[in-house]
Amino acid sequence: MVLDLVNVRLQRDGVQILQNINWKIEKGEHWVLYGLNGAGKTALLDLINAYNFPTSGDCTVLGFKFGKMYLGEELRKNIGFVSSSLQQKFYPTDNAFEVVLSGAFASIGLYETPTDEMRGRAIGLLEELGCIGYANRDYATLSQGEKQRVLIARALMADPSILILDEPTNGLDFIAREQLLDSIERLANKGDAPTIIYVTHHVEEILPVFTKTLLLKNGEVFASGQTDQIITSEALSNYFNLPVHVHWENDRPYLVKGK
């Protein structure tokens, strides 16, 4: 079991942020976490990363049971986290290769001397994600899509058991988005891929490899299970309180407003 949340509730300053969260992820599964702005996605991700602890309920991530053992950095070493908010934290003069190498030390910037093995792994990841052509370019000069690929490579440097992609296509045009999604699909289809949690509020980004989906609404699990049973016209019409129609094309869902 990669993730096991049972009746989890999170309260801060008297405000209920998450409640009745039940979610199990088994090794080999790839999930979509779908929710609109304010649904509680960030709070749930912070919980998985042990930045928050549940007010009540049981939370176990990668065998670490919250409240029973030391968590924090030890757990986060096994979780790769990619978010557009990370882009602003890197030194603009570090090149893409250095940013990826920093993932081996979980640091912003490269302060330690990487081993030859680390350098080889970084080159391999840059090649795998299509970044090798701009490995020596300053990070600040890269496009949004190029930066996201570099951040995914960086997150994979420590060989994580979980890879969280938090709305990775934000700010990308159609071509850049589809190129990044192609890279994510290739990664997910590898036999040794980490468990991927793909966070989005765009239905059309749900790739065939994400066979499981959790819908989060107002801090609660609205529905979870097989993607083709969750992402339906009926289910999403109930989720949005608005008639919508889901049609599938090339094994990906697309959403239009119904009449």
Query: Distance between CA atoms of 50 and 64, rounded to whole angstroms?
Result: 10
Over pLDDT 70: what percentage of the chain?
96
Kindly state the tokens that stand for 170: 């934000």
Q: Check residue 197 and give its pLDDT.
A: 98
Q: Check residue 51 and give its pLDDT.
A: 85
DSSP 205: G
pLDDT at residue 113 tops 80: no
Query: Distance between CA atoms of 17 and 11, rounded to whole angstroms?
Result: 6
Mean pLDDT of 97-101: 91
pLDDT at residue 223 tops 80: yes
Query: Distance between CA atoms of 62 and 3, rounded to whole angstroms?
Result: 6
223, 216 in Cβ contact below 8 A? no
Task: Name the residue among 86, 132, 129 with its Cα closest to residue 109.
Answer: 86
pTM for this one? 0.93
Q: How confident is the model at residue 149 (pLDDT cuts 50, 70, 90)?
A: very high
pLDDT at residue 213 tops 90: yes
Q: How confident is the model at residue 173 (pLDDT cuts 50, 70, 90)?
A: very high
Q: Check residue 69 and give its pLDDT.
A: 64
Q: How confident is the model at residue 74 (pLDDT cuts 50, 70, 90)?
A: confident
pLDDT at residue 109 tops 80: no
